[in-house]
């Protein structure tokens, strides 16, 4: 689970870093200011769209992981309840055995 989120974080960082690097290159490139501003505006729009895409993808993935987590919790809850019931049955059986043994020993002591 954490490897997947690290991969998404890395990808987001890579995209954002690439866009920031491109913006820096445009600022340092020898071209007229108007062209640079237009290029920055276009790159800003692209960056905004990419951030929206990534956030929607992250939200969808988080919802999927939440659903998987809830299913796993329910499964574990069922297993724990089953184990508790088995423990109760085993304790009742052992109690019965011990009471029978105690009655046997009491009978021997009386005789």
Contacts of 44 (CB under 8 A, 6+ apart): none
- Per-residue pLDDT of 2-55, as tens digits, reads 566 677 788 788 888 887 887 777 677 676 778 778 888 888 899 889 889 988
What are the boundaries of each domain within the chain? 2-110
pLDDT of residue 39: 80
- Per-residue pLDDT of 48-75, as tens digits, reads 898 899 889 999 999 999 999 999 999 9
Taking the complete model, does pTM exceed 0.95, yes or no?
no
Is residue 50 within 8 Å of 15, Cβ to Cβ?
A: yes
CA 73 to CA 78: how far, in whole Å? 9
CA 1 to CA 8: how far, in whole Å? 11
């Amino acid at each position: 689970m954490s490897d997947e989120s690290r991969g998404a974080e890395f990808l987001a960082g890579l995209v954002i870093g690439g866009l920031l690097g491109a913006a820096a290159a445009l600022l340092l490139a020898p071209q007229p200011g108007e062209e640079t501003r237009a290029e920055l505006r276009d790159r800003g729009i692209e960056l905004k769209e990419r951030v929206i895409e990534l956030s929607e993808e992250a939200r969808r993935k988080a919802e999927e992981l939440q659903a998987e987590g809830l299913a796993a919790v329910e499964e574990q809850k069922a297993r724990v309840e089953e184990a508790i019931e088995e423990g109760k049955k085993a304790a009742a059986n052992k109690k019965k055995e011990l009471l029978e043994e105690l009655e046997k020993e009491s009978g021997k002591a009386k005789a």
